[in-house]
Amino acid sequence: MHEMSIAESLVELIEEAGRNQRFLRVRQIRVKLGALGHVEPEALRFCFDAVSQGTIAESAELDLEMVAGEGWCASCSRTVPISERYDLCPVCGQDHVRMTAGDELRLAELEVE
């Protein structure tokens, strides 16, 4: 389950930020999570709750902002929605679509005390 290592990395980033910026507690954590990134949101929440125990992130609300899949089609020069990494272009049907959004995993914001 790679969600556990992702949760551990999030806690490490948060604790490092706490040391650098001198805050003692995190109330809310916003993470941008790509819909095509193969991370199960509920598994990530579960793992985060487990690994954040005893840290400055304990009991913090984990807000996962889902980012939809999007790609650029080189054939028709359009930005198009995609639901899989290697989708065909829904406009022209060609397979020249390069994913431009949807695989993010980024710590976006912390609300701290």
The residues spanned by each domain of the chain are: 2-68+102-112
pLDDT digits 0-9 by tens, 42-55:
999 999 999 999 99
Alpha carbon distance 113, 57 (integer Å): 11
Q: Is the separation of the CB atoms in 62 and 29 below 8 Å?
A: yes
**For domain 2-68+102-112, is the CATH number 3.30.2320.50?**
yes
Burial category of 11 from C-beta neighbours within 10 Å (exposed 0-12, middle 13-18, buried 19 and up): buried
Q: Which pLDDT value is given to residue 46?
A: 97
Amino acid at 73: C
Q: State the pLDDT confidence band at 1, using cuts at 50, 70 and 90.
A: low
pLDDT digits 0-9 by tens, 58-86:
999 999 999 999 999 999 999 999 999 88
